[in-house]
Structure 1
């Protein structure tokens, strides 16, 4: 999250946008997977405000643990997607996350990632979490190797993640015409 720390002083949306990497016309600011990052809620508010001022969709990738900065981000979201592997232990852990996130974000939905443990499928997982099912995210062969090479998830437009995202946005944008909030 060193990039986020660098951005905390950058109040302008243009400075924010230009400092972020781009993938498929989407600027990316993601959360560090380590536990050593502490972001002040004011910094989160400032960065998200700058991103929103630029217009369009803002996608926020948050960690599993919800601290004050994560709660600040959740409070500003319209829709949340909780990605859950199709494994019993993952569903149990996701249930705790969904419970906490649901206190701040009313529109939380499940995306279930295969492969599945015996007896589980995407509908079972969403039902167990008591969340609406957005869809299934199939396993993406070569994802770990691509990440080790520095390629972000979804870099291949033909991969399962890119296809899932394209389908999600197509449905979300179609729903935008009826006055509903998409993301």
Structure 2
């Protein structure tokens, strides 16, 4: 599993605009503003050499396309020749000479170009790990673990998004103690369709340091479809290093879509006989929807079965055991969220490392 902090193959610089046409420059700056990016602008072909290789994408005006092609810059991806007005054979010929990936004719291509600018700056979804957490039985503490795992990851400087996919739960915000924080909740994004900007999503959600949270408000139930869930998760994977999804035991269409999007699924259960039977029935369904399932056992005094025995009975690899601690419950009840130290914190660090999420360098 890729470490969540890897960013293979991405560029680091701002978009590069190469044109001396004032009207085209103004148009492109407006489109960059719509995509929430700040470009570097040069008005001579020779000045493009400095930022050419590191730019997230290069937008070359038709007026300078021939000059840029003539100076022999290294070939690179995400080069767009931009022209105003109707296209012509000559414009496309200059695009070929420039080795452009695309030719964008304005104003018709404005919407496409805004999306392209956003895509260039957002990380590949492949660099993000999506972890689902689901209770194998009622009262297993799946929401607590989801909140704790996300909190610990964010404290280790991993950009993390926590998604509450259970519309009928008490709300993961209450576990974190951030229910009064400003930001959007599911009811405000439930009508979202199509591509969602990762930058816009990050800016809109309630945050605790490096942790962004998408949960439910205290109002009535909102309708959420699978398409919206997938759009939000796609944006999350482009904008964060780790996405943690708190899943219901009886998934609706939206939660089922989230479940099938998970790279790793953690099933949390206690070690009683009835809990084990319930987890076994649930796992029969989960195995058809996720290939990588791990078991987390919440230990308690006088448990009927040991964690290793439970793992063998359920045919699921054991990831960790987590303690039942009154201090954790008290911290959550007081609105402080999961404790920043203690056994639960330590087990979360271990779980993150086992599933491939390392701490970000300082």
Q: TM-score, normalised by structure 1?
A: 0.79
Indicate if the aligned counterparts of 1:87 and 1:116 stay in contact, CA closer than 8 A: no
Q: Which is richer in strand?
A: 2
Structure 2: where are the runs of 5+ without partners? 1-166, 168-183
Displacement after TM superposition at 1:95 (Å) = 1.6
Q: Does 1:136 align with 2:321?
A: yes
Partner of 1:17: 202
**Deviation per CA, 1:10-64, whole angstroms, max 9, x where unpaired?**
82222322333445633233579xxx56421111111101101114111111111
Displacement after TM superposition at 1:133 (Å) = 0.6
Indicate if the aligned counterparts of 2:265 and 2:293 stay in contact, CA closer than 8 A: yes
**Deviation per CA, 1:54-113, whole angstroms, max 9, x where unpaired?**
141111111111221122111111110011112222222222221111111111110000
Q: Does 1:157 align with 2:330?
A: no
CA gap of 1:139–1:68, structure 2 versus 1, over 3 A, is: same
2:215 and 2:311 map into 1 onto residues whose CA distance is 25
Q: TM-score, normalised by structure 2?
A: 0.43
SS in structure 1 of the partner of residue 246 of structure 2: coil
Q: Does 1:122 align with 2:307?
A: yes
Partner of 2:189: 7
Structure 1: where are the runs of 5+ without partners? 176-183
Q: CA RMSD in A?
A: 2.7
Match runs of 1:100-119 below 5 Å:
100-115=285-300, 117-119=302-304
**Which structure has the higher relative contact order (CA within 8 Å, separation 6+)?**
2
Q: Does 1:166 align with 2:349?
A: yes
